[in-house]
């Protein structure tokens, strides 16, 4: 979270530095600029396009490293980051068909202002973090499992670090607060569990690992030897000194999560703006139909077992809103359709619950459009496991595996012949997506979804 604040702060600081540089050179200088035709709007748009690449450059030089950094190292990274950003933009300016800077002094001013603004911005953020830690706000509640010398050293490091709050130590020695893990977590839920391998218990405790995954708690494991860390698991140097592996239930972590969220915001924001006219037409048609609100909302589940309200265009009769399919079929006097509906992948060709306009909206997938608002808000993602109601997902024994990522507007199960697959098989595809996520997989799913919407395949 702190790294994300640094990224946002750095982007704002660099943008402000070069905007001020432009204003000083072009608007407040009596000397004419070399490229007078470069207006403020064009200059700002060029900056916005180049800004993501500048942030990537900052990341490559270790500006957002999670490991503790000395003050001199932070200052040098700010200096080299600002210098690298200036050189990068000068290079683009030189090779670009249309110049970016109206004058040679603008990148120099921008470089100097960047150092000042980045220093101020980071100073403020680190001061806020210091105050929060002083007041013991936002600390990571930690449980350590193990009682050997490595565990003792780890406990000492955690107690000296201001980011963590040691809640319990499991073991037999004098530092231990509890003898069993179950006893330690009976009255509170930690944010992080670290198991240290001992001579008696050299492997990951599967019971503890399953507990952390079901409760969406971060789990780390310190092996007896560095050579024992498998290649398939994420490795890190904890608190700058202790090698351990992070057992991640999904590949969607770190920069991958940032990239995915960025795509969600940009795509959903542009979509809502560009197709606002389409939303208006559908709302008017639903109002003319005159069967209650044009919108349908329902409680669904997303990452971390969090409940949220999903929005769709109303496609079924208003009196059936807020009911499960089973309840709705019973209410309209067709309980015999429940089994047929479920066996057919939650689909009926002539569903008696659905209005005439609703059938068209479902066939064209237009009923899903309001979920773009859920995507923009961050309730769901463009791609992910299908967002299900709690009653449905509770039937799946391994639902915690699905809920390790945000639910999605579309997903692997949707493009894999959703209505032709049994319910259990669709949930297994959701689990596969969670465990094998990649940005390229998301792009493939989006393109295939787009094609299916155009051809009408797989629409409900």
Tens of pLDDT, residue by residue over 425-441, are 888 888 889 888 888 88
* Average pLDDT score, the chain: 83
pLDDT above 60: residue 267: yes
CA distances from 151 to 71, 143, 157, 221, 244 (A): 29, 11, 10, 11, 12
Structure tokens at 119: 């220093």
β-strand partners of 142: 166, 192
Phi, psi (degrees; rounded to nearest 5) at 107: -65, -30
All structural domains of the chain, each given as residue ranges with its CATH number in brackets, are 2-134 (no CATH), 140-246 (3.40.50.720), 255-315+354-455 (no CATH)
Give 85-104 pLDDT, tens digit per residue: 899 888 888 888 888 888 88
3-state secondary structure of 33: coil
The stretch 284-303 carries a mean pLDDT of 87
Q: Which is more confidently placed, 111 or 227?
A: 111
Locate the DSSP E strands across 337-449.
381-383, 408-410
| Helices and strands (H, E) in the chain, number of each type | 18, 10
The stretch 327-352 carries a mean pLDDT of 80
| pLDDT level of residue 228 (50, 70, 90 thresholds) | very low
- Say what the pLDDT of residue 227 is: 44
Give 349-365 pLDDT, tens digit per residue: 788 888 888 888 888 88
- Say what the pLDDT of residue 369 is: 93
């Amino acid at each position: 979270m702190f790294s994300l604040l640094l990224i946002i702060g750095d982007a704002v600081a660099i943008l402000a530095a070069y905007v001020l540089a432009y204003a000083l050179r072009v608007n407040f200088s009596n000397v004419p600029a070399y490229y007078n035709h470069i207006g403020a709007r064009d200059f700002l748009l060029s900056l916005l396009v180049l800004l993501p690449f500048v942030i990537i450059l900052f990341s490559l030089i270790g500006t957002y490293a999670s490991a503790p950094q000395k003050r001199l190292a932070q200052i040098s990274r700010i200096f080299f980051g600002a210098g690298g950003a200036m050189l990068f933009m000068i290079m683009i300016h030189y090779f670009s068909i249309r110049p970016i800077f109206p004058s040679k002094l603008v990148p120099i001013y921008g470089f100097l202002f960047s150092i000042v603004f980045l220093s101020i911005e980071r100073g403020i953020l680190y001061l806020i973090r210091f105050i929060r830690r002083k007041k013991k706000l936002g600390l990571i509640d930690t449980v350590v499992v193990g009682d050997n010398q490595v565990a003792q050293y780890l406990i000492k490091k955690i107690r000296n670090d201001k980011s963590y709050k040691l809640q319990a130590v499991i073991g037999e020695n004098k530092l231990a607060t509890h003898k069993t893990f179950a006893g330690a977590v009976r009255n509170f839920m930690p944010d992080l569990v670290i198991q240290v391998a001992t001579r008696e218990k050299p492997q990951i405790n599967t019971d503890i690992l399953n507990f952390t995954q079901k409760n969406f708690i971060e789990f780390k494991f310190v092996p007896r030897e560095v050579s024992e860390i498998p290649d398939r698991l994420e490795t890190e140097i904890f608190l700058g000194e202790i090698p351990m592996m992070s057992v991640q239930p999904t590949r969607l972590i770190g920069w991958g999560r940032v990239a995915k969220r960025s795509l969600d915001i940009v795509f959903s924001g542009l979509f809502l703006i560009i197709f606002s006219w389409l939303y208006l037409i559908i709302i008017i048609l639903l109002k003319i139909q005159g069967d209650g609100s044009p919108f349908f909302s329902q409680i669904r589940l997303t990452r971390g077992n969090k409940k949220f309200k999903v929005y769709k265009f109303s496609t079924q009769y208003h009196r059936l809103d807020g009911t499960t399919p089973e309840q709705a079929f019973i209410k309209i006097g067709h309980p015999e359709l429940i089994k047929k509906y479920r066996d057919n992948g939650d689909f009926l060709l002539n569903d008696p619950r659905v209005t005439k306009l609703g059938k068209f909206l479902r066939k064209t997938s237009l009923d899903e459009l309001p979920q773009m608002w859920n995507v923009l808000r961050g309730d769901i993602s463009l791609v992910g496991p299908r967002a299900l109601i709690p009653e449905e997902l509770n039937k799946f024994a391994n639902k915690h595996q699905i809920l390790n990522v945000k639910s999605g507007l579309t997903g692997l199960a949707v493009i894999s012949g959703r209505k032709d697959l049994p319910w259990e098989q669709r949930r297994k595809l959701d689990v596969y997506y969670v465990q094998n996520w990649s940005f390229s997989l998301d792009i493939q799913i989006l393109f295939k979804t787009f094609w299916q919407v155009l051809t009408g395949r797989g629409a409900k």
